[in-house]
Amino acid sequence: MELQPLRNVRILEGYSAVVLGAPLYMFHWHKDAHHFLSQHRKILSGNLPVAIFAGGPFGEGDGNEWHEVRVKLDSELAKFPWLTPISIKIVGGKFDPSKLRFPYNLIPALKKMPASDLRDWAAIRAWASNLAAQFLSDLPQ
């Protein structure tokens, strides 16, 4: 298994599966995920199985934000109709206003938000440990 930032990946030939993860930023899936999918469309629309996770939500919400993140992610994935992920997971976000970088550190509403870590590691581990079996069952017979 190899772990790489999305933007560093040049070729996917030789791999048997891809797990792609990226956070939601300002109501959009991170641009690196969009670039990655566009760049590797040919192989990802073929026999290489893909699982997807997204970071978000963050802060103290009304309880509906997990669903909203999923709806948002689905609308982003609809831009790639050729992609059929074997699994999609919202993992929760970790947010620290003291670590905001430009230009986000200029947005008062973000700077005022409390730090939060909504990642549910038990659920994330359960999802991840099930992936290998799902990838295997997805292989062409």
Ligand X SMILES: Cc1cc2nc3c(=O)[nH]c(=O)nc-3n(C[C@H](O)[C@H](O)[C@H](O)COP(=O)(O)O)c2cc1C
Which residues make up the interface to ligand X (CB under 6 A)? 23-27, 55-58, 69, 93-95, 100, 104, 110
Q: What is the maximum alpha-carbon separation in the chain?
A: 54
- Smallest separation, CB 138 to ligand X (Å): 27
Q: Which is nearer to ligand X, 6 or 50 (CB)?
A: 6
- Smallest separation, CB 34 to ligand X (Å): 15
Q: Which is nearer to ligand X, 34 or 94 (CB)?
A: 94
Question: In terms of Cα–Cα distance, which of 59, 41, 58 is closest to 50?
Answer: 41
- Smallest separation, CB 16 to ligand X (Å): 26
Instruction: Copy the structure tokens of residue 9.
Output: 């990946």
Tell me if 51 sits within 8 A of 18, measured CB to CB. Answer: yes
Residue nearest to ligand X (CB): 56
92: left (phi over 0), alpha (psi -120 to 50) or beta: left
Q: Which is nearer to ligand X, 11 or 101 (CB)?
A: 101
* 129 C-beta neighbours (distance < 10 Å), count: 9
- Smallest separation, CB 9 to ligand X (Å): 16
Residue 113 DSSP code: S
- Please name the residue that has the structure tokens 């038990």: 122
Q: Which is nearer to ligand X, 86 or 100 (CB)?
A: 100
